[in-house]
Amino acid sequence: MKHGLLIFLLVFLTTTLTTCAQTPAELQNALNKVSPEAIKGHMSFLADDLLEGRQPGTRGFALGSKYMETQFVSLGLQPGVNDSSYIQSVPLQRGWVEAAESGLTLIDGKQEKQLEYGKQFIINPYFASPASAISAPLVFVGFGISAPEFKYDDYSNIDVRGKIVVWINDAPKQFPSSERAYYTTADAKYTEAIKRGAVGVITMGLPSNRRSSWEGSVRRSRQGSYKWQNGQGMAANSYEALKAVASFNSEYADSLFIHAPVNLQKIAALAAEGKSQSFPLNLSASIRVKTNTKVVQSSNVVGVIRGSDPQLKNEYIVYTAHLDHFGIGAPVSGDSIFNGAHDDASGNAILLEVARAYRSLPAAPKRSIIFAAVTGEELGLLGSDYFISNLPMKGGKVVANLAIDMPFFFHPILDIVPYGADHSSLGKQTEQAAGILGLKISPDPFPEQVVFIRSDHYSFIKKGIPALFIKSGFMTVPQDTVDRSKSDVAWRSTTYHTPKDDMNQPFDFKAATMHVKINFLIGYFTSSQPAAPSWNKGDFFGQKFQQKAF
What does 113-150 look like in DSSP terms, one character per residue? Answer: EEPPBTTTEEE---TT-SEEEEEEEEEEETT--EEGGG
Mean of pLDDT values over 378-383: 96
Torsion of CA 424, 429, 433, 439, to 10 degrees: 30
Please give the pLDDT value at position 19. 47
Higher pLDDT pick, 525 / 9:
525
Neighbours of 351 (CB within 10 A): 29
Q: What is the pLDDT of residue 238?
A: 94
pLDDT value of residue 549: 44
In a domain, 83, yes or no: no
Q: What is the mean pLDDT of residues 71-100?
A: 97
Show the 3-state SS of 331-369. EECCEEEECCHHHHHHHHHHHHHHHHHHHCCCCCCCCEE
Mean pLDDT, residues 504-521 taken together: 98
Residues 393 and 485 in one domain: yes
Task: Note the pLDDT tens digit of each residue in 385-394.
Answer: 999 999 999 8
Q: Give the model's confidence band at 485: pLDDT under 50 very low, under 70 low, under 90 confident, else very high.
A: confident
Write the pLDDT tens digit of every residue in 441-475: 999 888 777 788 889 999 999 999 999 999 999 99
| CA distance linking residue 254 with residue 240, whole number of Å | 28
Q: Quick one: pLDDT band at residue 18, thresholds 50, 70, 90?
A: very low
Q: Is residue 200 part of a domain?
A: yes
Where does a domain end: 242, 270, 294?
294
* Rounded CA separation 59/55 (Å): 8
Give percent above pLDDT 70 in the chain.
95
Angle, alpha carbons 322-380-96 (nearest 5°): 125
Residue 300 falls inside a structural domain: no
Whether pLDDT at 320 is above 60 = yes
38 with 155, same domain: the answer is no
Q: Are residues 225 and 131 in the same domain?
A: yes
Domain boundary among 231, 262, 294: 294
Give 112-138 pLDDT, tens digit per residue.
999 999 999 999 999 999 999 999 999
What CATH number does residue 47 fall under?
3.40.630.10
Residue 80 identity (one-letter amino acid): G
Residue at which a domain ends, from 267, 294, 321 = 294
Q: Tell me, what's the pLDDT at 20? A: 56
Q: What is the pLDDT of residue 210?
A: 57
Residue 550 lies inside a defined structural domain of this protein:
no
Check residue 312 and give its pLDDT: 97
Mean pLDDT of all residues in 406-416: 95
CATH number for the domain spanning 197: value is 3.50.30.30
Together in a domain, 273 and 311: no
Domain co-membership, 359 together with 222: no
Instruction: Please report, as a single letter, which amino acid is at residue 7.
Output: I
pLDDT confidence bin for 219, thresholds 50/70/90: confident
Residues 125, 232, single domain; the answer is yes
Q: What is the pLDDT, as a whole number, of residue 365?
A: 97
Q: What is the pLDDT of residue 15?
A: 43
Per-residue pLDDT at 87 exceeds 60: yes
d(CA 422, CA 403): 16
* Residue 87 covered by a domain: no
Residue from 148, 159, 160, 143 nearest 242 by CA: 160
Q: Do 193 and 48 share a structural domain? A: no
> Across residues 325-349, what is the average pLDDT?
95
**pLDDT at 14 exceeding the cut of 50:** no
pLDDT for residue 453 = 82
**Phi-psi domain of 394 (left: phi exceeds 0; alpha: psi -120 through 50; beta: other):** beta
313 plus 450 within the same structural domain: yes
Q: Which of 272-276, 373-377, 396-400, 442-446 has the lowest mean pLDDT?
A: 442-446
Q: Are residues 360 and 436 in the same domain?
A: yes
* Peptide bond connecting 170 to the previous residue in cis, omega within 30 degrees of 0: no
* Residue 412 belongs to a domain: yes
Containing structural domain, residue 153: 95-294
Scanning 231-381, the segments in alpha helix (DSSP H) are: 264-272, 346-359
Query: Smallest Cα–Cα separation from 460: which of 542, 369, 529, 532?
Result: 542
Which amino acid would we find at residue 302?
Answer: V
**Residues 253 and 311 grouped into a single domain:** no
Mean pLDDT over each residue of the chain, to the nearest integer: 93
Mean pLDDT of 490-518: 95
Does 301 reside within a domain?
A: no
In a domain, 527, yes or no: yes
pLDDT at 340 over 50: yes
Ramachandran quadrant class, 376 (left: phi over 0; alpha: psi -120 to 50; beta: rest): left
Please tell me the distance from the alpha carbon of residue 187 to that of residue 84, in angstroms, as a whole number: 34
Do 463 and 342 fall within a single domain? yes
Which DSSP letter does residue 21 get?
S
Q: Do 440 and 532 lie in a common domain?
A: yes
Output the CA–CA distances (angstroms, integers) from residue 419 to 343, 458, 470, in the order listed: 17, 10, 6
* pLDDT of amino acid 1: 47
User: What gap in Å lies between CA 183 and CA 169, rounded to an integer?
Assistant: 10
Count of structural domains, the chain? 2
pLDDT tens, position by position, 144-197: 999 999 999 999 999 999 999 999 999 999 999 889 989 999 999 999 999 999
Instruction: Tell whether the model's pLDDT for residue 6 goes beyond 70.
Output: no
For range 313-330, the mean pLDDT: 96
DSSP secondary structure letters along 433-479:
HHHHHT-EE---S-GGG-GGGSSTHHHHHTTT--EEEEEE-----TT
The pLDDT value given to residue 211? 60
More confident residue, 136 or 486: 136
Residue-level pLDDT at 40: 98
d(CA 192, CA 147): 10
Q: Which of 287-291, 486-490, 493-497 has the lowest mean pLDDT?
A: 486-490
Q: Give the mean pLDDT of 199-213.
A: 82
Looking at the chain, the whole-number percentage of residues with pLDDT higher than 90 is 84
